[in-house]
A and B are shown apart, each in its own frame.
Chain A
Amino acid sequence: MSNPGMIPTSPRKPLPDRTAEKYLTFRCASEEYAVPVSKVREIIGWQEITTIPLAPEYVKGVLNLRGRVIPVVDLRLKLGVAAAPSGPRTCIIIMQLEERRGAHCVGVVVDTVSEVITMTERQRQNTRDFGQGLIQGRFVCGVANVRDSMKLLLDVDATLSRQEAFGAGMEPYVA
């Protein structure tokens, strides 16, 4: 698509920024979040979720995705925001996690999915830059200002940590 040898046809259309990455943005409570598209497998509408006994509240349960059983996390509850009833715009984003133990798919319930945008390195800002301890949440790793709207970059791996949901538990030992 981008031929490095090509001369830009218009000075107002700069060479594509190598740091540009596509993000999926979605709304959760009053905030707008973004996750790299590379972590998103698919987006499905609301469907029936089976509760898992004695799991943390934010683990909504499991659903059937074309014959596969996929766990689902409610982002509102995970972020400590009041729960909301599911509506016609409620979506479940199926995210792909790479963990030490292999790749998992986890569904995330969000209020509504907004759009896919491209963000460059320059637009992204690490929350560390705000100064130590200013941002309490552990799940936002950065912010980005795109077209006068601030998107919170969700740290998918920290948010969907299995360890945090179920603890190390008594994992079978590996001899």
Chain B
Amino acid sequence: MSPEAQLLDVIDTLGTAVSSGDARTGEIQGLMSQILSLSNALDLAEAAAAARLPEWDRLESLARGDVERLMDGLAGAANAGLERRLAGPDAGESPEAPPPGFAEESADHLETIERQLLALEKNPGNPEPIHAIFRGFHTIKGLASIFHAPTVRDLAHEVESMLDRVRIGLLQATPELIDTALRCADALRSLIGGSPLDTADLIKRIHLFNTQQVEEPAVAAVQPEAAASASPCEAANTIKVDTAKLDDLVDLVGEVVIAQSLVESDLAARRAADPRLARNLGQLARMIGQLQKSALRMRLVPLGPLFQRLARALRDLTRLADKQATLEMSGAEIELDRTLLEQLADPLMHMVRNAIDHGLEPPAERAAMRKPPAGVIRLEACHRGGQVEIAVSDDGRGLDAAKILRRAIARGIVKPDAALSTGEILELIFLPGFSTAETVTGLSGRGVGMDVVRWQIEKLRGRVEIQSAIGVGTTFRLRLPLTLAIIDGLLVRSGGARYVLPLFAVREMFRPPPGSVKTIEGRTEVAVLRDRAIPMFRLGELTGVPEPRRDPYESVLVVAQRNGRDCCLLVDSIEGKQEVVIKSLGDWIGYQPGISGGAILDDGNVGLILDLDPLLSRSTESLRA
């Protein structure tokens, strides 16, 4: 290792020793600041060398001399602290076994590395990403020394020295170099995760770069000051909490809310007569409400890292498919429930894969269409009406409705004489067993189709919509709830049971005026509202709870949106609006289309939370069958 590298190692070791309080802080901190200024001087010196500046010799000798003098004493001090730290119970472990904590500490850095590498690829002239990447690998190297992971340390060191040459303009950030760096990041991730890996090939590849020279040196030399600025740790104010603990907290708060509503209904009679009690109950309710909101907010995480994973996948997939694409992202800061985000990764990945594989044309075909050779895939997230909308769009060939219809007819999914609107035809791709790919490629066509995507999204109480125009592109729009834990519901009664309808799906409700409910072909019922006929469903029949057919004029109609169209639901009565905590029905029952979960109602019974779209599709499908 070069003196610089050794020095950097010592700095990292010291940093850890200091932050863990194992070394005598004051003493070490003084040395630390000296070392930091030295290492800055070294950076300067290197930059000067690269640019062949006259200060080089003076700076170098100064820096190197000081470094060597300081080395021994410092290493001793730092290692003393380190040894104390490692003398814990797991000191006897094999050096390659990843110690607990290493993976967590490196995860953020690896993520930054990946994000910045992709940024660098987009804009190779920008110095910011390369510094951030360098810092990331450098920190991992430091961590690896501390956690005694020599393979990780050596690989990180090699990448770091390669990047260093990019930093000072001796190497250019070519796609091949970025590719190698990305592979190294992957290798580090699996090494840190505990799976052994042979890094010899990667190191050989890196050495190839290190022997290359750029014809015109120093053109891209960047200011080292930029490297010294910018805090390497943006997440200093966050702590990591086991999600199980968080879920317990949210569950418990949910129980508190229910207990509170029980107490309130018990005290309802006394409340009117006792202003003090009323005030205190009100205060309690408000505070519990706030507690619940903050507990739920803790589960929210930004979409950014998921988008990042998609960006990485997109890069690899376009190479595999011999296509060119740029990714545009917006709304990475939008926050979603953690569980939801985890379960969103698969369907989103599938949609990006589809966009590359089936959406984007090969460059030649695009040229013929007078489109730029590189396609654009857009990931956009935004808040819309209390929900989160994520759109995945491409500017590719679009979905061919005629082709989809032909295929659906050939597969017997629809009758040849079926009269379907374009929108309805596009919806067909969500049916099981439908795939528009004519050839099965390495990317898509693995037997997982859009039906699974829809299933996964609906399981999250979300919706998928398609918009597509031939030659212009396709957009898949996902609408998702902000959280899986709570829902604003409309409590309705039908038959003997009470159900919760999600409030966002409800447009209006009213008692149908006499004569407004008609039948079509003696069977299908419609309600006429403001001179428009809207299909009507009886909730009791949808849920299969047998009950005598009620007079609609003594019931209530709830108008809901379904696939962008209105429909109405006949219920016996409305019991009010209520915010309910969603409980899963458990793995034994699993996901039942049409049911989002259960809510513990104020009487202690379980009320089912209905998901109208799948519930109605299921009933209309069973009518057709």
Q: Interface of A with B (CB < 8 Å)? A: 48, 50-55, 59, 61-64, 67-71, 97, 99, 101-102, 104-106, 160, 162, 165-166, 169-173, 175
Question: Within the assembled complex, what's the spacing in Å between the Cα atoms of A169 and B251?
Answer: 28
In the complex, the chain A residue whose C-beta lies closest to that of B455 is A170
Asked if B254 is at the interface of the complex by the 8 Å CB criterion, the answer is yes
B542 cross-chain contacts in A, Cβ below 8 A: 53
B588:A53 contact, CB within 8 angstroms: no
Asked if B592 is at the interface of the complex by the 8 Å CB criterion, the answer is yes
Q: Which residues of chain B in 572-595 are interfacial with respect to chain A, using CB atoms and an 8 Å cutoff?
A: 583-592, 594-595
In the complex, the chain B residue whose C-beta lies closest to that of A67 is B255
B618:A173 contact, CB within 8 angstroms: no
Question: Within the assembled complex, what's the spacing in Å between the Cα atoms of A97 and B543?
Answer: 28
Q: In the complex where A172-B455, A173-B448, A175-B346 touch, is A50 in contact with B588 (Cβ < 8 A)?
A: no
B591 cross-chain contacts in A, Cβ below 8 A: 169, 172
Question: Within the assembled complex, what's the spacing in Å between the Cα atoms of A56 and B606?
Answer: 19
| CB proximity of A25 to chain B, nearest CB, Å | 24
- A64 in complex: contacting residue of B346, B544, B595, B605, CB < 8 Å: B605
A63 cross-chain contacts in B, Cβ below 8 A: 605-606
A52:B592 contact, CB within 8 angstroms: yes
Asked if B452 is at the interface of the complex by the 8 Å CB criterion, the answer is yes
Q: Which residues of chain B in 345-369 are interfacial with respect to chain A, using CB atoms and an 8 Å cutoff?
A: 346
A166:B589 contact, CB within 8 angstroms: yes
Chain B: how many interface residues by the 8 Å CB criterion? Answer: 39
In the complex, the chain A residue whose C-beta lies closest to that of B343 is A172
A64 cross-chain contacts in B, Cβ below 8 A: 600, 604-606
B585:A52 contact, CB within 8 angstroms: yes
| Additional A-B contact list (14), CB under 8 Å, known A52-B608, A53-B595 | A50-B598, A51-B545, A53-B542, A53-B608, A54-B544, A54-B618, A62-B606, A63-B605, A68-B586, A162-B587, A165-B588, A170-B452, A172-B346, A172-B452
B451 cross-chain contacts in A, Cβ below 8 A: 170
- A50 in complex: contacting residue of B251, B254, B590, B605, CB < 8 Å: B605
Asked if B456 is at the interface of the complex by the 8 Å CB criterion, the answer is yes
The 9 A-B pairs of least Cβ separation, nearest first, read A53-B543, A104-B588, A50-B606, A69-B598, A69-B583, A53-B544, A48-B605, A67-B255, A62-B606
B586:A71 contact, CB within 8 angstroms: yes
Question: Within the assembled complex, what's the spacing in Å between the Cα atoms of A99 and B588?
Answer: 9
In the complex, the chain B residue whose C-beta lies closest to that of A48 is B605
B251 cross-chain contacts in A, Cβ below 8 A: 67
B590:A162 contact, CB within 8 angstroms: yes
Question: Within the assembled complex, what's the spacing in Å between the Cα atoms of A175 and B342?
Answer: 13
A53:B594 contact, CB within 8 angstroms: yes
B589:A71 contact, CB within 8 angstroms: yes
B452 cross-chain contacts in A, Cβ below 8 A: 170, 172-173
In the complex, the chain B residue whose C-beta lies closest to that of A68 is B583
Q: Which residues of chain B in 557-581 are interfacial with respect to chain A, using CB atoms and an 8 Å cutoff?
A: none
Q: In the complex where A62-B598, A67-B255 touch, is A170 in contact with B586 (Cβ < 8 A)?
A: no
Asked if B109 is at the interface of the complex by the 8 Å CB criterion, the answer is no
A71:B588 contact, CB within 8 angstroms: yes
Question: Within the assembled complex, what's the spacing in Å between the Cα atoms of A166 and B592?
Answer: 9
B585 cross-chain contacts in A, Cβ below 8 A: 52, 62, 69, 71
Q: Which residues of chain B in 118-165 are interfacial with respect to chain A, using CB atoms and an 8 Å cutoff?
A: none
B606 cross-chain contacts in A, Cβ below 8 A: 50, 61-64, 69
Asked if B459 is at the interface of the complex by the 8 Å CB criterion, the answer is yes
A102 cross-chain contacts in B, Cβ below 8 A: 587
A172 cross-chain contacts in B, Cβ below 8 A: 346, 452, 455-456, 459, 591
| CB proximity of A120 to chain B, nearest CB, Å | 32
Q: In the complex where A63-B606, A170-B455, A172-B455 touch, is A51 in contact with B588 (Cβ < 8 A)?
A: no
Question: Within the assembled complex, what's the spacing in Å between the Cα atoms of A171 and B598?
Answer: 20
| CB proximity of A102 to chain B, nearest CB, Å | 6
Max chain B C-beta neighbours (<10 A), residue from A48, A62, A97, A165: A62
B584 cross-chain contacts in A, Cβ below 8 A: 69
Asked if B497 is at the interface of the complex by the 8 Å CB criterion, the answer is yes
In the complex, the chain A residue whose C-beta lies closest to that of B601 is A64
B592:A54 contact, CB within 8 angstroms: yes
In the complex, the chain B residue whose C-beta lies closest to that of A53 is B543
Question: Within the assembled complex, what's the spacing in Å between the Cα atoms of A136 and B600?
Answer: 40
| CB proximity of B447 to chain A, nearest CB, Å | 8
A97 cross-chain contacts in B, Cβ below 8 A: 588
A-B contact pairs, 29 of them (CB 8 A): A50-B607, A50-B608, A52-B592, A52-B595, A53-B544, A53-B592, A53-B594, A53-B608, A54-B544, A63-B606, A64-B605, A64-B606, A67-B251, A67-B254, A67-B258, A71-B586, A71-B589, A104-B588, A106-B588, A160-B588, A162-B589, A162-B590, A166-B589, A169-B590, A170-B432, A170-B451, A170-B452, A172-B459, A173-B452
In the complex, the chain A residue whose C-beta lies closest to that of B452 is A173
| CB proximity of A143 to chain B, nearest CB, Å | 28
| CB proximity of B58 to chain A, nearest CB, Å | 58
In the complex, the chain A residue whose C-beta lies closest to that of B539 is A53
Max chain A C-beta neighbours (<10 A), residue from B451, B543, B589, B591: B589
Question: Within the assembled complex, what's the spacing in Å between the Cα atoms of A131 and B117?
Answer: 70
A51 cross-chain contacts in B, Cβ below 8 A: 497, 543, 545
